[in-house]
Each structure stands twice: as C-alpha cells, then as structure tokens.
Amino acid sequence: MPTKGLLRGAIALLAVTLQQASMATEFTANGILDLRASQVNSTDSYLKGGFGKFAYSNGSHLSIAQAGLDLGAHWDNGFAAKLVLNGWLDNEDSALGFSEAFASYKGLPSENGLRWSSRLGIMYPSISLENTATAWATPYTLNASSLNTWVGEEIRTTGIEAKLERIGKFSGSSHNLSLSAMLFVNNDPAGALLAWHGWTSSSRQTLYGETRSFPELKQPALSDQSQRSNPFKEIDYRPGYHTNLDWSIHRTALFRLGYYDNMAKPYLIDDGDYAWRTQFAHLGGKWRFAKQWQLVWQYMNGSTLMQSPDRVDAVNMDFANGFVLLSRSFNKKHRVSVRAEAFRNTDLDNTPLDNNNERGKGFTCAYQYRVNKNWFLAGEYQWLSSQRPQRVLHGLDENSNEQLFQLAARYFFSAL
C-alpha cells in the first residue's frame, strides 16, 4: 500500500541521515513566544465548535497565542532534519505537540545552475506566501488570512517531495525557476472543517494527531460522522499529489502556481471520519518595491466532495478565497500592514439541513514596533463580515459582522 511504501522510504532516508552523525553537524533552534490580549465581538469560536470566525469567543482574553520551536540539524553533505513544535494556551482549545517533522536533502548546483532537492516526512506543501516566520508564524500580522488559516488547519502532508531548481546567477541572470512534485498520504478528511464551519482567521495550526470540532450537524443522515474531525488521516490508502512552480527575481519578487489533489475516495468512512475529495489550484505573488514596501497576494479556487457509502452526494461544494496584503517598514523599527480578503463557499448538493453556502469579506490593519533584536510589540484590528444560512438552524443570524482588536508582545529567539 502507498502508506507502507512512503514509510519504508522515510525509514531509509532517516537511516541515511543518522549515518551522517559522525560528520560535522550544525544544530539550530529558533523559537517564537506570542503573548496576546484580545477583545472580540463575535460568537462562540470555531475552535469550540461554534461559528465564530476567530480563535477566541466573544469577550476579553489573555492567551499564549503561539509558543513555537523550530529545531534543525544540518550536515555538510546536504542532508538535514527538521522538527517544529507548537503550543497554544487559551480558554478555547489549548494544545501542545508538533506540526512538522521531516528530513531533507539539497544537492550542489551543476555547472549550468541546476540543483535537485527533496523532502520526506510530515510537512506543509509550498502554498503560503504569508506564513514565512519561525514555526509557520506570519511576520506581517498577528492573525493569518482566512486562506492560510485553512491551510494551517486542514492541509498537511505525509509524503515525499522532489524539486528541481534552475539558479539564474550561474548564467548571469537574476531569475530563478523551481518545479516541485509531491506524493502524500494522511490528508483524506481535508475539507470537512471548511464545509461545516467555513472560513476563519487566526494564528492557530492543527497539530499532528489533533482533532477539531465543528458546529453540530442537523442532518440525521450525517450521524455517522464524528463530532471532531481528524484532518491528517489516511482512509482509502491512495496517495494524493501536489505540484508547484516558483519563479523568483533576486531580492525583488516571487510568483507561485500550484495544484493540490488528495485523490480521496469520498464514499469511504473510517471510525467516524469520511474521506473528502478535495482539490484546488493556488497562485500568488510577493513583490518588494521601493526597498521598504512589500505586496503579497494569493488566490485559491477548488472543490470538495463527500458522499454516502452508496455514492450519493452528501456534501458537494466549490470554494474560492483571495487576499491582498500591503506592508511598509520604517527605519527598521516600525511596520504597518493592511490586508483585504474575500471568500465564498458554494453548496452544490441537495442535502437538507446542511446548507454550506457562505460568502464573506474582511479587512485587517496591523502595526508592529521592534523593541530590539528579539522583542516586537504589535497591535491589530480585524473585521470579518459573512453570510451563512446554516447559522439560522443554530439560533444565530444569517449575517455576521465580527471584530477583533489585539495587543501582542512577540519574542523571537535563537537558542543555538
């Protein structure tokens, strides 16, 4: 089965990696501690199984919004290993565990600038252009966009990735190209949370092995579904794939185009978790101009399908999401970022009492002050407006305008 093949490959690569222990080894340990005070105008948070779009329910909150540690080992021959630990402490759904664990290899470039690299293990596919800081945090805002919040919640791959890069400087060019392809398992239920609680925005990531709750299902035909979804699970033993193309211009721009398909058989169920056939295309760009300005944008368009065991559509949904973020730094001390986003889910099935239509938009304004090398102080205002008919069945208004104001002290550090 594909899962066993990937496991054998992981063991083989790990064995090769461990054999390098006698060589010169560089260890790294980078971390983030995010202390946060939040004031929320919303309803019960999606983390508690509600329809609230933020990580915190209505009211005032003090929390550890992220405690992350990125551990690495690097050998002279191009092999490396990485483990990312993350934790959250709040009144909603505290958690501690790991979010990524993989081995990698990066070869030396050839004379014409071609270089092969690979990764094997539990990892994020190359989608986000926003979550580029330590432990998959974002350096621009406190909360990630709704697009990348969903990636952090339901998209994680256990697999093997191969990448071919063309490095432009070997031919006197500032342009670089890379093409990667990944085969993966353990992501069959991805799509359930997007359908049943919709788009959200936070700094949370689902830890490996963690389950997530969602609003109570009102349709009796869905009673076999567990009340908590495990997005990182293998159900049909058929691998999915992700492909990615990056074009970068040295110190100026990066453009990304990719496609994800978990290839799940949507009529299978295992211990309360259905397989969902989820596939989407994503594209985005990052452009640095006038030295202190950055423009980041991403767009995603896809679909997800879950069926009954007799292959009748239970949830059939198209989705789309996009955001634009503009950020400016001042004197290496101050950063101001603004982000606008819009999203939709389109319900295509006829299942009664399970209307997953949703349409929304949002705006975020963030300010960050760098106190010293490690400490940052930040303030952020966020507004999300959405229309979701399913809320009515739970005694809520179909239309919702949710607001969040946050103050944070963030500490980034290197221990080695």
* DSSP conformation letters of 181-238: EEEEES-TTTTHHHHHT-----S--PPTT--EE-PPP--GGGTTS-SEE-SS--SS--
Supply the pLDDT for residue 416.
Answer: 77
Structure tokens at 234: 């293998």
Indicate if the pLDDT at residue 7 is higher than 80.
no
Tell me, what's the pLDDT at 349? 97
E strands present in 110-152:
114-123
Q: How many CB atoms lie within 10 A of CB 137?
A: 24
Q: What's the mean pLDDT in 126-141? A: 98
Residue 94 clears pLDDT 90, i.e. is over it: yes
**Do the beta carbons of residue 20 and residue 370 sit within 8 Å?**
no
Least confident of 20-29, 128-137, 327-336: 20-29
pLDDT at res. 192: 98
From residue 47, alpha-carbon distances to 44, 210, 412 in Å are 8, 12, 26
32, 66 contact by CB (below 8 A): yes
Provide the mean pLDDT of the chain.
95
Distance (Å, whole) CA 140 – CA 124: 19
- 2 three-class SS: helix
Per-residue confidence (pLDDT) for residue 1, from 0 to 100: 44
Convert the pLDDT of each residue in 138-197 to its tens digit: 999 999 999 999 999 999 999 999 999 999 999 999 999 999 999 999 999 999 999 999
Residue-range domains of the chain with CATH: 2-414 (2.40.160.10)
The mean per-residue pLDDT over the stretch 347-373 comes to 98
Q: What is the pLDDT of residues 208-233, one digit of tens each?
A: 999 999 999 999 989 889 999 999 99
How far apart (Å, rounded) are the C-alpha atoms in residues 379 and 388? Answer: 29
And the tokens for 172? 């006197």
Residue 356 confidence (pLDDT): 98
